Amino acid sequence: MATSDKIASVAEITEKLRDSNAAVVTSYTGLTVAQLKQLRRSLGENAQYRVVKNTLTKIAAQEAGIQLDEHLKGSTAVAFVTGDPVEAAKGLRDFAKENPALVIKGGVLEGKALSADEIKKLADLESREVLLAKLAGAMKGKQSQAAALFQALPSKFVRTAEALRAKQAEQGGAE
């Protein structure tokens, strides 16, 4: 590979690392081209899976301020995630279950280095949309409770005042 090609490749990987909110480093030895194509589809539209050269990726990671050196050994491919990292982690985990040749080495999330186990834990999380829906449901439930409480206070006051008026009318009629 010519030097200008290497420089361009490093610049491209650096840009992808900076633009991504997560990157997952994998080993793909033993996967066929058809399996790699299937893997790319399983990651969704917010992730790009790319086979990379270790030495160029080390340079790009240093330029991007990311620590990936320990994962860049052997055949390496990186999933650059620009969307929900949980979705991409699930796609990689599920694909690795069906195709043991894919090995998750580690990665980075929002600039923090992750081990392979941490990426698997990330895959076990629910997606961002599900978590937001649960939060919205919990907030709606609390609002309903607050509304019922606020409605109960005036209602109780009115019933108490009516009972007091009735008692006074009863005492006034008995005298």
Residue 175 has pLDDT above 70, yes or no: no
CA 60 from chain centre, in angstroms, equals 24
pLDDT in tens, 39-81: 888 887 888 888 889 889 888 888 888 888 888 888 888 989 8
| CA separation for the pair 63, 57 (Å, rounded) | 10
**Percentage of the chain with pLDDT > 90?**
1
Residue 174 binned pLDDT confidence (cut-offs 50, 70, 90): low
Q: How large is the average pLDDT for residues 83-95?
A: 85
pTM above 0.75, yes or no: no
pLDDT in tens, 103-140: 888 888 887 888 888 888 877 776 667 767 877 777 77
What pLDDT score does 128 carry? 66
What pLDDT score does 2 carry? 64
* pLDDT, mean over the chain: 83
What pLDDT score does 62 carry? 87
